[in-house]
Amino acid sequence: MKRFTAFAFLALLCSCGRGESARGSGGPPDPLAAAVDAYSNHRISADSAARVIVSQMKRAGRPMTVQMDPPLREAVHRELRKRRP
């Protein structure tokens, strides 16, 4: 289930995050995709991935509507509460 969630999350990001000119440009890697991939492969914790996810949400200025496994969802909620003004 965790791999499917990570795949769905990455598919959503790839489909709506970049314009045609940015695809395949050889630019820097997407930090959000890298964090989700690392989390799904158990290389980073849910809290570490949540920090990146919330940073990207704040930068984009809109919420992300994707399915996450319960530990990651809880970590994102905790990170959002910490960053509330």
The domains of the chain are located at: 29-85
Q: What whole-number distance in Å separates Cα of residue 65 and Cα of residue 63?
A: 6
The pLDDT, as a whole number, for residue 2 is 60
- Mean pLDDT per 10-residue run, the chain (85 residues)? 57 51 62 92 96 93 86 96 90
Positive or negative, the CA dihedral 26, 11, 20, 48 is: negative
Q: What is the pTM of this model?
A: 0.66
The pLDDT, as a whole number, for residue 80 is 94
The pLDDT, as a whole number, for residue 62 is 85
The pLDDT, as a whole number, for residue 76 is 95
Q: What whole-number distance in Å separates Cα of residue 45 and Cα of residue 23?
A: 28
